[in-house]
Chains A and B, each alone.
Chain A
Amino acid sequence: MNITIVDYKSGNISSIINSFNEVAKDKVKIEVTSDINKIKSSDKVVLPGQGSFKSCVQGLNNINGLIDTLNEFAINNKKPLLGICVGLQMFADIGYEETETKGLGWISGKVSKIDNKNGKYKLPHIGWNQINIVKESKIFKDIENNSHMYFVHSYEFIPKDKNVISATTDYSSNVVCAVEKENIFGTQFHPEKSDRVGLKMINNFMEL
């Protein structure tokens, strides 16, 4: 099997690479690239994302044919794809960070700023928070409900169809922190920084 981590200059992806390599050992080949032919031929794709929604969408657009390739991979061919942080957020139709920006539109919904309740909640939401698993998801296999995951974000994905939500976390409100829609998976938290539980989740994705 080979897994491609999409490198579209969206900030720092070295931790994602390190964690996937750690879990993969010699069983799975991890490729880090923006080469659309390599993405096409891979079994699974990881879509990272750091920085703003706008800059990440721009990053995808900057690589000729990348969005089409991702659409083909995830929507037409229904191959497993995992979006992490802004990688998940970009599944939405639209994001409101910096300026209104169109997303990939894979899971209908929007990305808006977390309500900080007049400064009661500090933003970014940084640190370890517990996930409330609300639907069975293959990537949470053998992961206990209320496990801690590491978060860093100020914006949240609000999907229209609540059935796609696989986990939420409590920060100001029930923030969506994991989604699953058929072959498309996403986590707002960073499994690559969530120690053993995070590595377990990465392993679950590899074993899909």
Chain B
Amino acid sequence: MLKNRIIPCLDVKDGRVVKGINFVNLNDAGDPAEQAKIYSDGGADEICFLDITASNENRDTIYDVVEKTSKKCFVPLTVGGGVRSTDDINKLLNCGADKVSINTAAVKNPEVVKDSSQKFGSQCIVVAIDAKKIGNKWEIFTHGGRNSTGLDAIEFAKRMEETGAGELLVTSMDRDGTQIGYDIELILKISSKVNIPVIASGGVGNLDHLVDGIKLGNASAVLAASIFHYGKYSVKQAKEYLDSKGIPVRI
């Protein structure tokens, strides 16, 4: 049976791990390669690096981080943040990333998703959807949640599937960093609309939130940062908890 995945996410800035609350007030907390290794040894099903300020500055540091990490970690590594072109994707894959997540570029230039999925296979193309609830709809935001686009998140998700995305990483910008749980409605709306796996993201504060993401949101995988990063829970604890709730996990 296919297992639901738990994916710890490390926010990386200038080659160092940080995790912000609503993308501000960053705290430096370690070396990405070492952190990733701790996670994979602890049973993480995949590792995700999000280069949070990559759109603006000092972008090349991520390549060294990925290269170093991929020599130590033998579970899939997804890297996102500031990925603009097929060339960027190629570089990350060559450094050892297994998947690349594309956010702003997927909105501004869907050709990147199309070209890269044709060139490298859709298995390594993750489209990251950052959505904020406006009224009773969800709107896509880009540039780390700073810019609104007017695009409907559910329709966009469907379009990205058709364009060549292999997975969707769906983040609620309202919930990100709040620790009050995923936006289940958003996750469920998207996961029932598309036939590719959906990774739930944004807002995890306890282990029940992970359970909800899978059971209520129908997500294939759950991503979380702070609860793991600050040692509130280990990946192992999270898996044991999911297992106790009847969710299939790799233990």
Contact = CB atoms under 8 A, between A and B. Distances in A.
A14 B94 contact: yes
Contacts of A122: 195-197, 220
Given A11-B121, A22-B71, A52-B121, 20 more contacts: A11-B119, A11-B124, A12-B97, A14-B70, A15-B74, A18-B74, A21-B71, A50-B120, A50-B124, A116-B195, A122-B195, A124-B166, A124-B167, A126-B166, A127-B5, A127-B45, A128-B5, A151-B2, A152-B123, A193-B98
A125 B250 CA distance: 15
B1 A14 contact: no
- The secondary-structure label for the interface of chain B is loop
A171 interface: yes
Interface residues of A, number: 36
B75 interface: yes
B144 interface: no
Interface of A: 11-12, 14-15, 18-19, 21-22, 50-52, 116, 119, 122-130, 148, 150-153, 170-171, 192-196, 198-199
A43 B120 CA distance: 29
Contact of A12 (B71, B98, B118): B98
A29 B155 CA distance: 50
7 contacts: A11-B124, A12-B94, A15-B96, A18-B74, A51-B121, A123-B195, A127-B221
Nearest to A51: B121
Contacts of B5: 127-128
A50 B121 contact: yes
